[in-house]
Amino acid sequence: MNDRAYKHLHLSPEGRALRVRLNRPEVHNALNPEMIEELHECFSSLHTGGLVRVVLLEGSGPSFCAGADLTWMRALATYSYEENVGDAHNLADALTALDASPVPTVARVHGAALGGGMGLLACCDVVVAADDARFGFTEVKLGILPAVISPFVLAKITPGHARALFTTGERFGAERALQVGLVHRVAPADQLNVAVERVLREILASGPNAAAEAKALVRVMQGRQPTDVRGLTADVIARLRLSDEGREGIAAFLEKRRPSWAEGEG
């Protein structure tokens, strides 16, 4: 993890967790090119084996992320086609860095998550939302589409749900977000921090390498038949069983003690 001071992100290490806070509260943490660049740099700098074992992504102020900044959107209308393509690639690069983070990621969602903010939460491994949070793929209301975020969203929800939510642009609540698979846990707003901390503790109780490998395993297995990946899955489990972490985890279980990586965690 680099030590750069960001303008639109606030990074706060908390033990083995890193809190990454979107920090434009005056505009509900709306995305602009500078924030997107910072997100790309921040998540590209993460690596396994370091101090950080889980990242919490959240928003300052009243919302998680209300989508694209209005000033930015106004400027985009004056860009050439080539400039718009380049701008879209920048957002895709930031989302890819978050999605591919080797460190597990947790999103804490309160207030509103709209447009590009939906892309951010779709790229996180676990999403915990307040029961009064509001969501929406609102791009069609502006005559555009959630195009850049769509591959990440479609990795989480079915095409049927995406077609309904993308075409209506309707705003919906946390329970529907849970139902379609965008959110994994919903908590009362005044208990949101408690619910988030519970998830962080669960991740920190897991083997650091195993957690990273779990993310990679899901990515590799998507859309493939069991017979096609039989050799690959056998190789993965054999490697992990024989790894130092695997040996320690199994030994700790048999000896009824905490594994070394969980000592001092909660």
Could you tell me where the DSSP H helices lie in the chain? 33-44, 70-76, 81-99, 116-122, 150-154, 159-168, 174-180, 192-204, 208-221, 230-242, 244-254
List, in order, residues 6 or more apart from 144 with CB less than 8 Å away. none
Q: Specify whether 226 is located in the same domain as 149.
A: no
The CA distance from 244 to 258, in Å, is 15
Does residue 3 lie within any of the structural domains? no
Q: Which pLDDT score, from 0 to 100, does residue 86 have?
A: 95
**Is residue 4 in some structural domain?**
no
pLDDT at 222: 85
Do you know the residue count of the chain? 266
* pLDDT score for 137: 97
* Separation of alpha carbons 88 and 78, rounded Å: 15
Amino acid at 130: A
The mean pLDDT value for 245-264 works out to 90
- Token duo for residue 104: 């597990």
Instruction: Specify whether the CB–CB gap between 201 and 17 falls below 8 A.
Output: no
* Confidence (pLDDT) at 38: 97
Residues paired with residue 56 on neighbouring β-strands, in sequence order:
19, 106
Dist. CA 181–CA 164, nearest whole Å: 14
pLDDT by residue (tens digit) across 134-175?
A: 999 999 999 999 999 999 999 999 999 999 999 999 999 999
Does this model's pTM top 0.85? My answer is: yes
Given a contact cutoff of 8 angstroms between Cβ atoms, the answer to whether 128 and 107 are in contact is: yes
Structural domain of residue 226, as residue ranges?
207-262
Residue 1 lies in a domain: no
What confidence tens digit (pLDDT) does each residue in 20-40 have? 999 999 999 999 999 999 999
Ranges of beta strands (E only) in 9-67 are 9-14, 17-22, 54-59
- Higher pLDDT: 4 or 44? It is 44
Task: Tell whether 198 and 211 lie within a shared domain.
Answer: no
| Token reading at 259 | 């594994």
Amino acid occupying residue 201:
R
- What's the N-to-C CA distance of the chain in angstroms? 23
Q: Is the pLDDT of residue 49 over 90?
A: no
Give the pLDDT score at 263: 60
HSE of 148 in the Cβ direction (CA atoms, 13 Å)?
A: 24
- pLDDT at residue 219, rounded to an integer: 87
Residue 39 has a pLDDT of 97
Q: Average per-residue pLDDT in the chain?
A: 93
Q: In this predicted structure, what is the pLDDT of residue 5?
A: 81
Are residue 185 and residue 217 in the same domain, yes or no? no
Q: Is residue 77 very low, low, confident or very high in pLDDT (cuts 50, 70, 90)?
A: confident
Question: What is residue 55's three-state secondary structure?
Answer: strand
Asked if 248 and 188 sit in the same domain, the reply is no
Q: How confident is the model at residue 223 (pLDDT cuts 50, 70, 90)?
A: confident
Q: How confident is the model at residue 3 (pLDDT cuts 50, 70, 90)?
A: low
Q: Residue 1: pLDDT band by 50, 70, 90 thresholds?
A: low
Counted domains in the chain: 2
Q: Are 235 and 174 in a shared domain?
A: no
Which CATH number fits the domain that encloses residue 236?
1.10.12.10
What pLDDT shows up at residue 147?
A: 96
Phi and psi dihedrals of 19, rounded to 5? -90, 120
- pLDDT tens digits along 89-141: 999 999 999 999 999 999 999 999 999 999 999 999 999 999 999 999 999 99
Segment 180-185 mean pLDDT: 98
**193 and 216 share one domain:** no
Same domain as 243, residue 196: no
Residues 251 and 193 in one domain: no
CA neighbor of 139 nearest in space, from 63, 31, 36: 31
Q: Which of 181, 203, 225 is the last residue of a domain?
A: 203
